[in-house]
């Protein structure tokens, strides 16, 4: 499959993309994590760079090579991801949150490895809420006209749940994936519906993650101030 020459419609723009999935440590050797591979976020970074943007990729635990010509900031936890995204977003024209950010983290980090105790049942793991990076970026846009994009994976009532989430987060665009068997996690392909705060709905048929990435940049480019 060959792709045509990319339009340089993001030249002179700075875009920030989060990718991968955060890991929330329990102790020095264990964490709570998720299955996000980071492939969609890396595809967004490659396509934005190809369209002329300066790209900051905040990458959480993705086992993928750094894309050429992209500034990669590696993070582990949701709190680290928030710091890196907020810092990079200060002069960004667009922020795309494709990372799977853990909603909760263990309330306590054990400095030493947690050990079993003979004849005792384990303690339950207490969790606390992580910061909501997308909601924070949307509510406090560092620049007027900054375009903010979220991602959501939904298993049912995709459109209704997506619309409610778009509103709750306050972003301009929400890319909604239907997740199920063999779909999305780690796969090379994606299929999605992109919801706009202006009421628009853009279906993206099943295809390479670059196709979805290019559709996201088309929609972002159309919303950037000239």
Cα separation of 95 and 205, whole Å? 23
Using CB under 5 A, pick the residue from 91, 103, 188, 201 that binds Ca ion: 103
Helix (H) or strand (E) holding 196: strand 189-196
Whether 130 is a known active-site residue: answer no
Asked if residue 103 belongs to a known ligand binding site, the reply is yes
C-beta separation of 99 from 19 below 8 A: yes
165 is in an annotated binding site: yes
The verdict on whether residue 131 carries a ligand-binding annotation is yes
Q: Note whether 66 and 72 are within 8 A (CB).
A: yes
Instruction: Decide which of Ca ion, ligand CTP, none touches 217; Cβ closer than 5 to 8 Å per partner kind.
Output: none
- Closest contact distance (angstroms) between CB of 179 and Ca ion is 12
Q: Which option in Ca ion, ligand CTP, none does residue 152 bind, with CB closer than 5 to 8 A by kind?
A: ligand CTP
In this structure, what are the phi and psi dihedrals at residue 151, rounded to the nearest 5 degrees? Answer: -120, 145
Residue 9 phi/psi, 5° resolution? -75, -5
**Are the beta carbons of 67 and 57 closer than 8 angstroms?**
yes
The residue (of 8 and 164) whose beta carbon lies closer to Ca ion is 164
Residue closer to Ca ion by CB (options 19, 55) is: 19
Is 32 labelled as part of a ligand binding site? no
User: Rounded distance, CA 65 to CA 127, Å?
Assistant: 32
CB of 223 to Ca ion, least distance (A): 25
Query: Residues annotated as binding site for CTP?
Result: 103, 113, 131-134, 151, 165, 169
Which residues of this protein are in contact with Ca ion, per CB under 5 A?
Answer: 103
């Amino acid at each position: 499959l060959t792709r045509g020459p990319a339009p340089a419609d993001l030249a002179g723009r700075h875009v920030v993309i989060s990718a991968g999935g955060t890991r929330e440590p329990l102790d020095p050797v264990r964490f709570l994590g998720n299955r996000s591979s980071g492939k969609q976020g890396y595809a967004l970074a490659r396509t934005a760079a190809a369209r002329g943007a300066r790209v900051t990729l905040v990458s959480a635990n993705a086992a993928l090579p750094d894309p050429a010509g992209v500034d990669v900031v590696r993070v582990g936890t949701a709190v680290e991801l928030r710091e890196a995204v907020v810092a990079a977003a200060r002069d960004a024209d667009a922020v795309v949150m494709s990372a799977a950010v853990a909603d909760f983290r263990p309330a306590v980090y054990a400095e030493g490895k947690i050990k079993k105790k003979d004849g005792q049942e384990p303690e339950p793991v207490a969790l606390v809420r992580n910061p909501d990076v997308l909601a924070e970026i949307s509510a406090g846009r560092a620049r007027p006209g900054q375009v903010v994009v979220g991602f959501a994976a939904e298993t049912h009532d995709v459109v209704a749940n997506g619309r409610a989430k778009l509103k709750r987060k306050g972003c301009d665009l929400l890319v909604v994936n239907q997740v199920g068997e063999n779909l999305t996690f780690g796969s090379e392909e994606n299929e999605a519906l992109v919801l706009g705060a202006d009421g628009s709905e853009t279906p993206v048929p099943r295809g390479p993650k670059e196709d979805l990435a290019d559709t996201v940049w088309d929609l972002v480019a159309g919303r950037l101030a000239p």
